[in-house]
Amino acid sequence: MPDENPARATAREAIALLTGAAGFTEHRPPPHPLPPDGPLGWAGYDAARERASARTGEEESVVYGTGVVGDRACVLLSFEFGFLGGSLGLRTGDRLAAAYELALTRRLPLLALVATGGSRMQEGMVALTQLQRVAAASTRLRAAGLPQIAVVRDPTTGGGWATVGAGADVVLALPGAQVGFAGSRVRPPDADPYAYSAEGQFAAGQVDAVVPADELTGTVTHWLRALGPHENLPAAPVPRALSAGGVGTGAGAGTEAGASALSAAGTPSAAGAESVADRGPVAPLPETGREAVARARDPRRPRAEAYLADYFAVRLPLHGDRSGATDPGLLCGFGLCADGRPVAYVAQCGTPTRPAGYRSAARTIRLADRLGVPVLTLVDTPGAANDAEAERAGAGAAIADTFAAIAAARVPVTTLVIGEGGSGGALALAAPDNTHVTVDSYFSVIAPELAAAILKRPPSETGATADRLRLRPQDLADLGFARSIVG
């Protein structure tokens, strides 16, 4: 009978949960004989393997092969925790390396269903070095532009988490799964168990989503569609304006001749600020710098969530910077437009962006670039977070890394400034030569209030300072910074 707890399902049950009637074709590597009781001659090891095989029906702790999830072919590998705790030994390494090579040869994404306690003690250093084999195989797959998705089950600990699991491009977890480098028997006695759970790892930005078992097939299918592999995808269309005064004349409608139109925007949802039918006529351009700043700071102006809901039919968030932190004021991930075309997104939400946000942005941009997926960035921040905590968290280095990720991107990057463009903290996410602005946005080297203070001018001259900074949408177009004014 299938395990009632999907997090503790067998290797083949986990595969069947995703492939269903589409089926699975198992592969096996060439036989790899071991000396009696393994490479260390560990007394009783052969007997333990025989008992594990009799109990599970498996020859090793990993099953791998090809299958179809939803409508997407992929290579699947699945750990059998009932076989010596899903531990990694030499023959496990053979199977893992063969699975990665199969994905590389057939140019298919790799989907790993992980449940392991780590390296196999009875094989000593021979077992431990399998982690290096996995890392090398994963690196080859990454260099070939092929995606890796991990679904971490209960439990996922030790070297298996630190390679196959956490080393994947996207990490999904089943609810309640134990996830962490330290297994339950090697942690400090007073360790907080939440830190070693799927939910705790999500809170720390190490897991992208905690997905219930009954939603897993749909979620994985969407991710496989989004990540590809793809070839020669066009640039992300410029989103249509969702100005507080009304919707624009169409996606990408701006002052630039031949501005691209978005025919594949997702249907507006309740996440948006309002329905299209509720919006009035197109808002005019601001007459002064002060007005431009006021409109960008207007709390009624649609924010990133509304733009993303209008643009995408499906959104797949990437969560966290993989360094232990998250920034709720910056949204990252991949999305599918109504016609199925994938676009990666990085969107500021109007708050000061924290170092974790910039690191998450750089992670998303680099992943999209490696997989050939175009990028859309939405700029809206008064600037980078400037408190002491942000400095200790490496604000400067994180911003520099985001600039570098944009500069190095080989895929097209499209930027729409939807609100405040606050200095370098906003510019780090702007695409050179492909930045567009909405009518209720501004972009400035510094906030007008701060500029006036630096120049020792009274607050009454802030408006005049804003005018001199030439930060209005039409100024940005005249200066050559913005390619078009949308809406």
Torsion, CA 301, CA 347, CA 421, CA 413, rounded to 10: -130
Structure tokens at 297: 């700071």
| pLDDT at residue number 358 | 98
Structure tokens at 408: 């190095």
CA 230 to chain centre: 17
Structure tokens at 65: 């092969």
Average pLDDT over residues 178-200: 91
CA nearest to 178, candidates 210, 149, 148: 210
C-alpha to C-alpha distance for 182 and 196, rounded to whole angstroms: 8
| Least confidently predicted of 154-158, 263-267, 314-318 | 263-267
CA nearest to 112, candidates 11, 200, 213: 11
Q: What are phi and psi for residue 64, nearest 5 degrees?
A: -145, 160
Q: What stretches of 342-439 show up as alpha helix (H) in DSSP?
A: 355-371, 388-392, 395-408, 423-427
Stronger pLDDT, 242 or 80, i.e. the higher one? 80
Average pLDDT over residues 333-344: 97
Question: How many secondary structure helices (H) and strands (E) does the chain include?
Answer: 17, 18
Q: What is the mean pLDDT of the chain?
A: 90
Q: Between helices 11-19 and 213-227, what is the axis angle to 10°?
A: 70
Average pLDDT over residues 482-486: 96
Average pLDDT over residues 270-274: 32
**Which residue matches tokens 């609100």?**
419
CB 138 within 8 A of CB 146: no
For residue 376, give every residue at least 6 positions away whose Cβ sits within 8 Å of its Cβ, in sequence order, or none: 236, 239, 311, 343, 344, 345, 346, 413, 414, 415, 416
| Least confidently predicted of 206-220, 246-260, 330-344 | 246-260
Average pLDDT over residues 264-285: 42
User: Quick check: 469 pLDDT over 70?
Assistant: yes
pLDDT digits (tens, 9 = 90+) for 234-261: 999 999 988 664 333 333 333 332 222 2
Q: Which amino acid is at 429?
A: L
Average pLDDT over residues 111-118: 97
Average pLDDT over residues 328-353: 97
pLDDT digits (tens, 9 = 90+) for 132-144: 999 999 999 999 9
Distances 407 to 401, 428, 436 between C-alpha atoms, Å: 10, 10, 17
**What DSSP string describes 53-66?**
HHHHS-SSSEEEEE
Peptide bond into 155 cis (omega under 30): yes
| pLDDT at residue number 1 | 32
Stronger pLDDT, 3 or 164, i.e. the higher one? 164
| pLDDT at residue number 282 | 60
User: Quick check: 276 pLDDT over 90?
Assistant: no
Stronger pLDDT, 455 or 100, i.e. the higher one? 100
| pLDDT at residue number 250 | 38
Structure tokens at 366: 């680099």
User: Quick check: 267 pLDDT over 60?
Assistant: no
User: Quick check: 445 pLDDT over 60?
Assistant: yes
| pLDDT at residue number 7 | 55
pLDDT digits (tens, 9 = 90+) for 52-62: 999 999 999 99
pLDDT digits (tens, 9 = 90+) for 349-407: 999 999 999 999 999 999 999 999 999 999 999 999 999 999 999 999 999 999 999 99
User: Quick check: 5 pLDDT over 70?
Assistant: no
